[in-house]
Amino acid sequence: MLELRNITAGYDAGTVLRDVSITVPDGAVVALLGPNGAGKTTTLKVASGLLGTRSGQILVDGEDVTNKAPYQLARHGVCHVPEGRGIFPSLSVTDNIRLQAPARNFKASLGNATSVFPRLGERAKQISRTMSGGEQQMLALCHAYVSDPQYILLDEVSMGLAPKIVEEIFEYLHDLARQGKSMLLVEQYVAQALKLADYVYIMDRGTITFAGEPGEISEETIMNSYLGSLAS
């Protein structure tokens, strides 16, 4: 179980998250929704150690990992697929996977990645920035397959992709869920995210405004949480 308890965090410019508590149970998919600027990316950064907390705690399987470095959280099985792809654009597909994979496990990881994403196998030597957006996103998602994490943080992995590719990406996410991975999923495709999720949190202006199961959430709640912040 991954737990954020009463997190306050932000940047030099000011506090962004206030008293944010989120639980990702083992094997569960948790969707984190909310309007632009709500603090979703900031939350994922805190959960993977990229951003420190001002107060509150992060626990992985009951162990306190608050303000540990990203590599230490990675050792605890936390994998962050960041906003905007998170690959090394000037490196080949193979070299990107080499950096994602545990050092001793590179060959097996490459085999695993190319069996999940055959298209990447065909493009092993291609410099990744020259691939299509969908192919680049698959390469970013490889991380969740080759580093064998238990907790996967996904930040808008469908952003800017054609509908057919978005469908494909969601198939991969369903596949990870079937494998029993725990996920904290930030998504602009709300309906798709709710289909995949076991639990939902809605965030607005740095605080959690709803926590529950997808069945408990009305369209009105979603609309209000997105439009409410636009109106004010």
Ligand X SMILES: Nc1ncnc2c1ncn2[C@@H]1O[C@H](COP(=O)(O)OP(=O)(O)OP(=O)(O)O)[C@@H](O)[C@H]1O
Judged by CB under 6 A, does residue 232 bind ligand X?
no
Judged by CB under 6 A, does residue 13 bind ligand X?
yes
- Residue 148 CB burial class (10 angstroms; 0-12, 13-18, ≥19): middle
β-pair partners for 200: 31, 212
Judged by CB under 6 A, does residue 123 bind ligand X?
no
Contacts of Mg ion in 14-43 (CB under 5 A): 41
CB of 101 to Mg ion, least distance (A): 26
DSSP, residue by residue, 75-92: HTTEEEE-TT--S-TTSB
How far apart (Å, rounded) are the C-alpha atoms in residues 37 and 41? Answer: 9
Tell which one of 20, 33, 42, 81 touches ligand X (CB under 6 A). 42
Tell which one of 30, 41, 120, 153 touches ligand X (CB under 6 A). 41
Which CB sits closer to Mg ion, 97 or 200? 200
Judged by CB under 6 A, does residue 225 bind ligand X?
no
180-215 per-residue burial string, b: 16 or more CB within 10 A, e: under 16: ebbbbbbbebbebbbebbbbbbbbbbbebbbbeebe
Binding site for ligand X (CB under 6 A): 11, 13, 16, 34, 36-42
Binding site for Mg ion (CB under 5 A): 41
